[in-house]
Chain A
Amino acid sequence: DAGVIQSPRHEVTEMGQEVTLRCKPISGHNSLFWYRQTMMRGLELLIYFNNNVPIDDSGMPEDRFSAKMPNASFSTLKIQPSEPRDSAVYFCASSLAQYQPQHFGDGTRLSIL
């Protein structure tokens, strides 16, 4: 398996634009997690899904952030409108179950100008 695949690897866009981050989990994994990593706040869990259903989105910063998982092999994290303070590395991770070790993607390095 290729592991968790995220795209794009890097994204630079202007404030106010819509940003969509994509994730393909490991096949057979039932849980998917979105994290944000910054120097100031470390690794923050934004939202996670079990069997494509959002379970806990309490980490989502505000209404500008939304996440979907239309099927078992694809998830998106959308920011609209984007702001400079959203600049961070966004990681997607998947696991067999929500309590099992997570496997991380390479992350998307997002810069909002």
Chain B
Amino acid sequence: AQRVTQPEKLLSVFKGAPVELKCNYSYSGSPELFWYVQYSRQRLQLLLRHISRESIKGFTADLNKGETSFHLKKPFAQEEDSAMYYCALSTGNQFYFGTGTSLTVIP
């Protein structure tokens, strides 16, 4: 069963527009959620984790246990945000990645 769902494979927004990358998870216990980013031809890098409750490069993500979601948001998209974004889940036993969303910020 798919533990992490990213419904959008591709997402395009204009520079300066708000962006939201969706992530839903399936786990009944206490999850730990992460967002990874992969810029063109580079390695995947950890962007943020929900327990840190921090903002990285203007991105934030809030864990909503009721909706089992961990959407990634940024109020004003920049061209350098264009990348592949992966949502990931740790169950305390295993680590799962979503299928990724490719974000393109149009100048």
Measuring CB to CB, which residues of chain A are less than 8 angstroms from any residue of chain B?
42-43, 45, 91, 93, 95, 98-107
Contact = CB atoms under 8 A, between A and B. Distances in A.
A93 B97 CA distance: 13
Residues of B in contact with A, size category? 10 to 19
B45 interface: yes
Most buried by A among B44, B46, B88: B44
B99 A101 contact: no
Given A43-B86, A91-B43, A102 B95 contact: yes
B26 to A, nearest CB: 16
B42 interface: yes
Nearest to A6: B43
A62 B99 CA distance: 21
Contacts of A103: 46
Contacts, number: 39
Interface of B: 34, 42-46, 49, 86, 88, 90-95, 97, 99-100
Given A42-B99, A43-B86, A43-B99, A99 B94 contact: yes
Contacts of A95: 95
Contact of B49 (A45, A101, A107): A101
Given A99-B91, A101-B34, A45 B46 contact: no
A105 B91 contact: no
Contact of B100 (A43, A91, A100, A101): A43
Contact of A98 (B43, B44, B45, B95): B95
